């Protein structure tokens, strides 16, 4: 199902050039380049990786290795809204899993998946470093601390 959804790169060639030029074509900046493309585009399309491979002179298989190893990268399109639920230790003992259960139910997807309408992508993270506020949910970069399952649902419904 996900295969069908793969679109051509939203990110323009010009933008990729710009990112690579910023690092002066330095191959050791590969992870940094991919991070910036990921941020611009929310995922890493194959065309973009091929372009990076050519410009940085790094074999495509090495890029694939990096892109699949690190959690920050996605090789499939991601939803318009990114929802992250912290399951770090402090959030875990304070009920993070219950927030996840409720959000999975509300969005109808499991952690790591994207809704069919490409609106939401749900992920779990291992600690965002605001343990004093656990459980924490982050939606599009905004942190919601000391959240309850009911509040989490309300936040998502408002989007």
Which residues of this protein are in contact with another protein, per CB under 8 A? 27-32, 34-35, 58, 62, 65-66, 69-73, 87-90, 92-94, 98, 101-102, 105, 125-134, 136, 141, 143-145, 149
> Is the Cβ of residue 103 or residue 117 nearer to another protein in the bound state?
103
> Is the Cβ of residue 77 or residue 134 nearer to another protein in the bound state?
134
Phi, psi of 121 (to 5 degrees): -120, 130
Residue 129 to residue 90: CA distance in whole angstroms? 10
Q: How far is the CB of 78 from another protein (least distance, A)?
A: 14
Classify 145 as helix, strand or coil. Answer: coil
Q: How far is the CB of 86 from another protein (least distance, A)?
A: 8
Among 108, 109, 103, 107, smallest CA distance to 152 is for 103
Residue with tokens 């191959």: 27
Secondary structure percentages of the chain, helix, strand, coil, to 5: 50, 10, 40
Q: How far is the CB of 1 from another protein (least distance, A)?
A: 25
78, 89, 97 from 4: Cα distances, Å: 13, 37, 31
Q: How far is the CB of 2 from another protein (least distance, A)?
A: 21
> Is the Cβ of residue 10 or residue 105 nearer to another protein in the bound state?
105
> Is the Cβ of residue 4 or residue 142 nearer to another protein in the bound state?
142
């Amino acid at each position: 199902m996900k295969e069908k959804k793969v679109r051509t790169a939203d990110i323009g060639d010009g933008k990729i050039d710009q990112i690579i030029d910023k690092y002066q074509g330095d191959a050791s900046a590969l992870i940094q380049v991919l991070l910036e493309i990921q941020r611009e585009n929310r995922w890493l399309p194959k065309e973009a990786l091929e372009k990076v491979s050519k410009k940085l002179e790094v074999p495509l298989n090495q890029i694939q290795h990096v892109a699949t190893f690190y959690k920050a990268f996605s090789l499939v399109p991601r939803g318009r809204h990114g929802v992250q639920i912290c399951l770090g230790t402090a959030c875990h003992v304070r009920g993070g899993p219950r927030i996840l259960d409720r959000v999975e139910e509300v969005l109808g997807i499991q952690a790591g998946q994207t809704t069919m309408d490409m609106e939401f992508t749900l992920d779990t993270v291992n600690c965002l470093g605001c343990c004093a506020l656990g459980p924490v949910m982050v939606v599009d970069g905004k942190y919601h601390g000391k959240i309850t399952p009911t509040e989490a649902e309300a936040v998502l419904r408002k989007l």
